[in-house]
Amino acid sequence: MEPSTKGPSRPRRRSAQRDGPSPVDVHVGGRVRLRRTMLGMSQDKLGQAIGLTFQQIQKYERGANRIGASRLYEFSRVLDVPVSFFFEGLGEARPFSPLPGLRTPDGGDERPDSFARRETLELVRAYYRVPSARVRRRLFDLAKALAAGNGSE
C-alpha cells in the first residue's frame, strides 16, 4: 500500500445544497428583504436597479445564494443604507428579527414575519408620507399611548 500524498485534511466547504443556507446568509438576505419591503420596492424593481432577475433577488433574500462584497455594496447603494445595516443584530443568539428586542404587549418576542405583513408596511409608509415632522411626532406619541392602554374606551 502506498503512503498518502494528500496533505493535512481540511474541513469540507459548506454547501447550501448539502447543508442548507448559512445563518449569516439568511440574516443578510432577510435584512435585504426588510429594507426592500420598507421602501415599497418589488423584487423585480430591485433586480432591475442592480442588473439581476427577480428570481436571483429571491435566492439572495432566502439566503440560498451568498451575497458577495461588491453585490452587497450595490444593495446598500440602491436601498440607501450603509453596508453595516445588513449585519445589524447578527451577533445575537436569537434568529433574525427585523427589529431586535421588540416585545408584544404580553411581553413575548414579536414574530419577525409580522413586519413583512401588508398592514405593518402600509402603516409605516403612511407614517413617513405625513409631511410635517411635528404631526408625525404627535402620531407616534398617540400610537405609544394607545399601546400603553391610555387610549382605552
User: What percent of the chain is predicted at pLDDT more than 90?
Assistant: 41
Within a 13 Å sphere around the CA of 145, how many CA atoms are in the beta-carbon half?
A: 10
pLDDT confidence tier of residue 128, bands split at 50, 70 and 90: confident
**78-91 pLDDT, tens digit each:** 999 999 999 998 87
Q: Look at residue 103 and give its three-state secondary structure.
A: strand
Q: Is the pLDDT of residue 116 over 80?
A: no
CATH number of 19-102: 1.10.260.40
Task: Tell me the whole-structure pTM to 2 decimals.
Answer: 0.59
pLDDT confidence tier of residue 40, bands split at 50, 70 and 90: confident
Q: Is the pLDDT of residue 97 over 80?
A: no
First to last CA, the chain: 86
- What does the mean pLDDT of the chain come to? 79
Question: Would you list the domain boundaries of the chain?
Answer: 19-102, 117-153
DSSP H or E run through 32: helix 23-38
**15-27 pLDDT, tens digit each:** 555 678 889 999 9
All three cell numbers of 8, joined, read: 493535512
All three cell numbers of 127, joined, read: 407614517
